[in-house]
Each structure stands twice: as structure tokens, then as C-alpha cells.
């Protein structure tokens, strides 16, 4: 009864190098994920923006972002400010460049009067271009 050969051939010696191909694959996938998610994290203030049919993404070269959160807090370029400070800083931006656009992001729970107050501060500062930021409506 023979179960196998009596002679044994010497197999390949074990490899002493590390295979880096899987590591490179994982790192490239992570880079792609970070590239895709980085623009989504641009604004750190959480808002529930209203939805509108005619909205589209667009950037103007010179703008300041004014945010009114659900509690009525004011933010200029993601930094909290009071109404007086907002008026002063918008006035400085208006003197530097009168064509500066204000991108107004207001939570849909904010009363209309608060939005009009911010618009009045911008008008008083000499800024006439106001863009209202909204999310596209879901069909």
C-alpha cells in the first residue's frame, strides 16, 4: 500500500519582502474618499436650508457668507458675530469692494423679520448684491 512518494522535493523558500500592493490600494481608496467628502464639509454650521426649484450651484469670485441659524444667531464667514459687528464688517467689505456679494444662508425656521434685518444691515453697508442660498427641491 503506497500513500505517496518517499522522495520530497524542496519547495520554494518563504518570501521575506512585504507585499505593499494591498496597502497602496487601500490608501488610494481613502484618498478618493477624502477628495469627495472634503467639499461637503466646507461649512461647519448645520442648517436646514429651504428647497427651491430654480437653485443651482455657483460661486462668485468676491463674496461674504452670512448665516442665520435656527436660533437666530448671526455668523459672518462661519464666525459668530453680533448684529453691530456684522454691520461694521459688512461696511468694511462694502468700502473695500462695492460689488461684493452677500451669500445669505438662513435656516427655514428663522422668522422672516430676522432675514429682513440682515438685509437691512447689508443695504446700510452699501452692499446691493444678496444671494439667497437654498437646496434644490427633491422631485
Class of residue 115 by CB neighbours under 10 A (exposed 0-12, middle 13-18, buried 19+)? middle
User: In whole numbers, what is the pLDDT of the chain averaged over residues?
Assistant: 82
What was the pLDDT predicted at 78?
A: 85
**Contact 93/64 with Cβ under 8 angstroms?**
yes
Residue 15 lies in a domain: no
For the stretch 84-129, pLDDT in tens is 999 999 998 888 888 888 899 888 888 888 989 999 998 888 888 8
> What's the domain count of the chain?
1
Q: How far apart are CA 125 and CA 96, in angstroms?
A: 11
**Domain membership of residue 60 as a residue range:** 51-136
Angstrom distance (rounded) from CA 75 to CA 118: 11
Judge whether 49 and 107 are in contact, CB under 8 Å: yes
Q: What is the CATH number of the domain that holds 96?
A: 3.30.420.270
Question: pLDDT confidence of 37, banded at 50, 70, 90?
Answer: confident
Tell me, yes or no, whether 82 lies in a domain: yes
Q: pLDDT category, 45, cuts 50, 70, 90? A: low
Mean pLDDT of the 63-71 span:
88
What is the crossing angle of helices 83-96 and 112-124, to 10°? 40
Question: The pTM is what?
Answer: 0.55
Q: How many residues does the chain have?
A: 139
Does the residue 38 lie in any domain? no
CB of 131 closer than 8 Å to CB of 103: yes
Amino acid at each position: 500500500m503506497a500513500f505517496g512518494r518517499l522522495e520530497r522535493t524542496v519547495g520554494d523558500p518563504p518570501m521575506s519582502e512585504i507585499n505593499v500592493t494591498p496597502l497602496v490600494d487601500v490608501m488610494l481608496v481613502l484618498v478618493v474618499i477624502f477628495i469627495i467628502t472634503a467639499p461637503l464639509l466646507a461649512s461647519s454650521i448645520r442648517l436646514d436650508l429651504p428647497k427651491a426649484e430654480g437653485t443651482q450651484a455657483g460661486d462668485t469670485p468676491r463674496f461674504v457668507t452670512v448665516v442665520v441659524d435656527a436660533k437666530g444667531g448671526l455668523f459672518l464667514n462661519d464666525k459668530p458675530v453680533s448684529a453691530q459687528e456684522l454691520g461694521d464688517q459688512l461696511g468694511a467689505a462694502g468700502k473695500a469692494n462695492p460689488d461684493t456679494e452677500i451669500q445669505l444662508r438662513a435656516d427655514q425656521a428663522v422668522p422672516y423679520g430676522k432675514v429682513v434685518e440682515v438685509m437691512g444691515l447689508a443695504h446700510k453697508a452699501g452692499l446691493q448684491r444678496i444671494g439667497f442660498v437654498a437646496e434644490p427641491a427633491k422631485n
